[in-house]
Homo-oligomer: A and B are copies of this chain.
Amino acid sequence: MEQFCFGVDIGGTGIKVGLFNMAGDLLEKWQIDTIKTGNGKDVLKDAANFIAIKSKEKGFTKEEIIGIGVTLPGPVKDNGDVLELANLGLGHFNIEKEMSELTGLKVKAGNDANVAALGEQWKGTGKDYENMVLVTLGTGVGGGVIHNGRILAGSGGAGGEIGHLPVNYNEKEVCGCGKRGCLEQYASATGIVRLAKQALEKSPKGSLLSNEENITAKLIFDLAKQGDKLALNIVDEACRYLGIALAAVAQVVDPEAFIIGGGVSKAGDILISNIKKHYTPNVMDALKDRVFAIASLGNDAGIYGCARLILS
């Protein structure tokens, strides 16, 4: 009897679902909308129903599905406990218990960034490293720490939340999390654009950015690659905060590798070399020689990590 598992990556706007065989090959994937009307738990029912439909389509018996891995966009403890999930309007519940009741299947769950890190460690760029950190540079900055091949969730499920690591003690603007000076304010796509706007206020002329109406992180990296000085300075500043933050992370968990993902990571080599430039002088000698590389699974990292939760 061939067996399978599902990965369910629940986000604020969409739910990604993947079907995997026992070797961890992604056989098929789908995406459905996250509909937040009514009780936030309807999202779990929608995901459970979708899996029931797909299982029926495939003609799977219960015995052929060994389990479901699930991610949620917030802290999830090792045992599946969720204290609060603000963006789905949910209070305290246990995601593994709820989803298991809805589906009749074994369920393992984790935080989205942590599970994505597990995916990259299992089937992506991180696959040679039992101890690694995934840093996701997107609209925000996410992170996940893999320690001896397993997610480091911490006591309350907030392990790896490096987007809110304090890196600037003089910041006046407030981060989305309510505090000031978080890494996310400088190294997310939004943060990089913010740095650009600040730089243009100080030096409004002489850069290819000066006449741009719609400044994006991609544009800044593209112009930096072309040698635009202002763009190079912005990239350097963002990477300075990243380098310092990852130095702090290294001093705490000593990973073999830092894998950089998210939309901003498409910038490639220029991003890696600038992060290393600022990382190296900020860690002790024993930690200098660490690997920095771009993630390879893209948006599928989460569903791969879900499968790993079940297949490990």
Contacts and interface: CB of A to CB of B under 8 A. Distances in A.
B287 A253 contact: no
Contacts of A48: none
B179 A281 contact: yes
Interface of A is mostly: loop
A252 interface: yes
B286 A254 contact: no
B158 A286 contact: yes
A290 to B, nearest CB: 8
A107 to B, nearest CB: 21
A255 interface: yes
A245 B165 CA distance: 9
Interface residues of A, number: 49
Contacts of A247: 165-166
A159 to B, nearest CB: 4
A254 B161 contact: yes
A1 interface: no
A155 B149 CA distance: 11
B287 A158 contact: yes
Given A165-B248, A248-B166, A248-B248, A155 B254 contact: yes
A254 B159 contact: yes
Interface in A89-103: none
Given A155-B256, A156-B286, A177-B284, 20 more contacts: A78-B148, A147-B147, A154-B254, A156-B254, A156-B287, A158-B251, A158-B284, A158-B287, A159-B254, A160-B252, A162-B251, A164-B251, A165-B252, A166-B248, A166-B282, A177-B285, A178-B284, A180-B281, A245-B248, A252-B252
